[in-house]
Chain A
Amino acid sequence: MEFASAILLQVLELVLALLVAPLLTGWVNQCRAWLQNRSAPSLWLPYRQLAKLFEKEVVLAHNASGLFRAAPYFIFACMVLASAIVPTLSTDLPFGPAADVIALVGIFALARIFIALAGMDVGTSFGTLGARREMLIGFLAEPALLMVFFTASLISHSTSLSTIVETFAHREFAIHPSLAFAGVAFTMVSLAENARVPIDNPTTHLELTMIHEAMILEYSGRHLALIEWAATLKMYVYSCLGLALFFPWGIPQGALLSNLLIALPSLAVKLGVGGFLLAVIETASAKMRIFRAPEFLGTAFMMAVLGMLVHLLLETGK
């Protein structure tokens, strides 16, 4: 019985992620529009866009290879897998043991590499340029993210996300100064990873400094739809990760369906606030030159490492 409800929760969580992810993007866009004194687009615009893209036919470059066509499915699958692992509704997920935080970073890296390779496949200048920049962001963001996780792991003596969240949410309450550093680092990494200002600008298509959009310039139709959907999923997963690590309250332990009564509303509130804050950050900061990005991410990396050191210095009692 326990197991069955766990499976159900897992499926629920997945479906929720797939459905809510575009909404989160829409929400952020709306908040941003408000903050910028623009009239906001519809909250449902991302869904309509996806539907439109699925309808459209795919235009492939003559020399696009199989890799190019397979990549969107693959990237999408990676993000789905990631969203299945991050605890949002319960910490007791059947897929939880399949991948711990290190593997989660691995999933993101896998998706990144596929999208970068796909960007290089057609052989246009924009694609390779985007791929190169994406990898530049990636090689700095990945270790930073890993170090954020390591800080959490050192506190909770585990790399399993479920255990980490359980430790933070349900064991004795303790203040971890190291998590503050980790939180700042994580925010910076999330901005970079989700192609947000100040690293990238998700709203433009033709700008010499763009990254993500440059890579997927050759995609169209259902391929583009999958990639966009994967991008929204990624943002959703990152948000949930941040919430799970730094604001874990409200994620119930155990696989009881009744827990949903607490879990769902708290998730909705947290995501709403999180999305708003993201919009605030994006509005308040200016886009950086691409070569400032390594500095930005280097700072994030240092912050994460510092967090780990702070933990070892102040919190292990030595």
Chain B
Amino acid sequence: MSLSHYYGQFINLLAAILLLLSFAMLGQRRILSLINLFMAQGAVLCASTVVVALTTGQSHLYWSALITLVLKVFLLPWILHRLIRRLNVKWDVETLINIPTTMLIGIVLVIFSFNLALPISELAGTVTRSLLGIAMACVLLAFLMMITRSKAVPQVIGFLSMENGLFFAATSATYGMPMVVELGIALDVLVGTIILGVFFFQIREKFESLDIRHLEQLKED
């Protein structure tokens, strides 16, 4: 049993935690907790990147880990915290579908994505065997969360959580994308979040609420 075997198990553990966090977010009603969960996800992501970097010895993955740490564990949660404080957002989150149903759908999704990823996992001979399935599940769960939330901030957190899933896929499942791509992705996420922040203020200014149900005027009648 080599060290890499433990690394592999460790990554699998991290992946499981990631999935768990995704579920937790799906079931979470409070915004602050959501942000915290998101932060935790970022931390797990960072850890998994570091482990992969250790396993494979690819130095640029350390940079990725660093970016993740800065961006997803510190910067984005900080921005989000600031936002909800500045905007005085209500703490409770309303969902469009009730939580147990959502969870049930979530479980189906996880099974579905494992099923999808199964043939692929068999192809990959590395430590990252089943990670793709988990990453996909994370993405789909985040997607589900976006669908079920009726306020802007949780939706955005869902969006960012989806990015986390993607990032996890990018780093862990494939041992990291080329650096330039990762930098680009990071930049986009950052700019996106800033723009979102701008938006929140504008929406808030116009509608005096961040409830996206106000944003249903443009439609076919």
Direct contact, A vs B (beta carbon within 8 Å): no
Residues on A facing B (Cβ under 8 Å): none
Residues on B facing A (Cβ under 8 Å): none
